[in-house]
Structure 1
Amino acid sequence: MERIVIGEYKFYQSTNNIQNKDKIVILYHGWGGTAKGYLELAEEIAQEGFVVLIPDILYHDERFPLENHFDSNVTRNYFWNTVFHTINEYNEFLRVIGVKKNSTILVGNSMGGFIANGIFAKEPEISGLANINGSGSFVLTEKIFRIRDGRDEISQAEESRLKKYDSIDKMISLSPVLLMHGDSDTIIPIEGQKNYYKYITKEEKRTNVEMEIFEKVNHEFTPKMVQKLIAWLKEIKNKKEG
């Protein structure tokens, strides 16, 4: 993997020839994580013939990192702003690095799953989405966060802001979707994944959507999840080449 800086954007890249590739995986890490922490996964994906990019996310790595992401006040003040900012900058990021939307497959873990899902809901040309331990149902997940943490109910203004990015009731790509989550996740409630899966399969009547629930798994990206992700990516690649 090579470390690249173009203007304000910093990222790891598995190859220099991204313009010659029609399947580029953009990998988003979780809250308080690092791009560097996903290098091993990126190498596994790259071995299957994909170009892999791991962007630095705002308030992480070298982009104004926070001192303590897991302080409860810090999380509440910055989590959603980080998700929204990363969704908003997606098109500019692609423009700067010279990649077409229909070449990209989005993969995200935890907060990265929120980000990937939010982008996918706004950009119908994207070639695939894998959301691991995240959520595509922003309003529902925030309501559950508040109940769990004993906080006040969400205000109308806050709910309206979340709905602008929520993947529910949005135009979506018709490309394949993979949702994975541990059934014992105490950090990101699985109900958000289930609600998005229900929406995309029942309301949108999509058939190329998989949701796999991993028993007795907390908020972890397990080896079995990695295996499933790699197999899913290979299936997309084989269909493209076939």
Structure 2
Amino acid sequence: MEQRAEINGIPCLVMGNGAPRCIMYHGWGSRKEVLQFFGSILAQNGFTVYIPDAPHHGERGSFDYHSAEGKERFWDVILEMVEEYPQLAAGLPGSGPLFLVGSSMGGFAGSAMFARHRDVAGIVNLMGACAWEKAEEVFRRMSGRPAAEDEELARIREYDPLPLLKEQNRPMLLLHGSSDPVVPVEIQRFAYKELGQPEAVTFTEIPRIGHTTTLWMAEETVRWLKGHV
């Protein structure tokens, strides 16, 4: 049964009582409760799951996420998530291995957290991106905006997980729908190729699936996490 808790000031849902721990991050414009069912599946399989509200989401406020002005805050929110990760992680009880699971925006942020913190045992990235500069290029192309100038890319490049991940060979599961119209799979294809397709990284495209989490993804997440505890 889940319970609400504040961990170092960050509102979270907490469920399960297993030794392996897992932080789950939701997507843009969403909230922690949306991942409740997914989290319960992990909890039933022996994990303690923590699902925080992202900054400016859920209990932490809101804005018009889908307006032009709102979309301009996308990277700012992600960077806030990355910067507050140590605050959240420091408040987690227990000493078992810690994994990250991120959906969409949560996958973007989780990849940077994973790249920067070697004590994280592994990450499952669902519909997110490990290559931030490539993602910005694709997003601008999709919206008809001109290519970003160097000064616009400065913060993205500073936190982009791909350069750090290229120096590592750590466990990652990348699951992405082949028909995703929101975060096109080409971004993760690019990242996987740039990583050199290392043995520790599993990249799976799910045919005919868009920007959504399926039951198969949840099952594969459980299987993969259990194999890396």
- If the TM-score is normalised by the length of the shorter chain, which range does it land in? over 0.9
Confirm or deny that 1:225 pairs with 2:217.
yes
Q: Distance in 2 between matches of 1:167 and 1:5?
A: 28
Q: 1:35·1:55 contact (CA, 8 Å) conserved in 2? A: yes
The one-letter amino acid of 1:37's match is V
The residue type paired with residue 131 of structure 1 is N
AA partner of residue 46 (structure 1):
A
Contact 2:162 2:191 in 1 (8 A): yes
For residue 28 of structure 1, report the CA deviation from its aligned partner.
0.3
Q: Deviations over 1:135-174 (max 9, x none)?
A: 0100011011011101121121121211111112115664
Q: CA deviation at 1:175?
A: 3.2
User: What one-letter code is carried by the residue in structure 2 that aligns with 1:39?
Assistant: Q
Alignment deviations for residues 88-127 of structure 1 (CA, whole Å, 9 cap, x no partner): 1111111233466x72101001101101111111111210
| Counterpart AA for 2:13 | Y
Q: Tell me the amino acid that sits aligned with residue 77 of structure 2.
A: T
Q: What is the rounded CA distance, in whole Å, between the counterparts of 2:217 and 2:99 in structure 1?
A: 17
Secondary structure of the corresponding residue to residue 66 of structure 2: coil
Distance 2:32 2:26 in 1: 6
Q: Secondary structure at the match of 2:181?
A: coil
Secondary structure of the residue that 1:84 maps to in structure 2?
A: helix
Please state whether the residue corresponding to 1:89 is helix, strand or coil: helix
Q: Is the Cα contact below 8 Å between 1:105 and 1:128 reproduced in 2?
A: yes
Same amino acid, percent of matched pairs: 29
CA drift of 1:131 comes to 0.4
- How far has the Cα of 1:200 moved from its partner? 2.2
Judge conservation of contact 2:101–2:125 (CA < 8 Å) in 1.
yes
Q: Which residue of 1 aligns with 2:38?
A: 41
Q: 1:6 to 1:27 in 2, by over 3 A?
A: closer
Q: CA shift at 1:73, angstroms?
A: 2.2
Query: 5+ residue gaps in structure 1?
Result: 238-242
Q: 2:102 aligns with which of 100, 104, 108?
A: 108
Per-residue CA deviation, residues 194-216 of structure 1 (Å, 9 max, x unaligned), is: 122122235xxx31211110111
| Mapping 1:143-154, distance limit 5 Å | 143-154=137-148
How many residues align? The count is: 227
Query: Secondary structure in 2 aligned to 1:26?
Result: strand
1:9 maps to 10
The answer (yes or no) to whether the contact 1:120–1:173 under 8 Å persists in 2 is no
Distance 1:181 1:6, change over 3 A: closer
Dislocated runs of 4+, deviation >6 Å: none
Q: Which amino acid aligns with 2:34?
A: G
Task: Give the Cα separation in 1 of the matches to 2:227 and 2:189.
Answer: 23
Counterpart CA distance in 1 for 2:200 and 2:94 is 25
TM (norm. structure 2) is 0.93
1:71 to 56, 67, 71: 67
Report 1:144-223 matches (<5 A): 144-170=138-164, 174-202=169-197, 206-223=198-215
TM-score normalised over the length of structure 1: 0.88
Q: Over aligned residue pairs, what C-alpha RMSD do you find?
A: 1.7
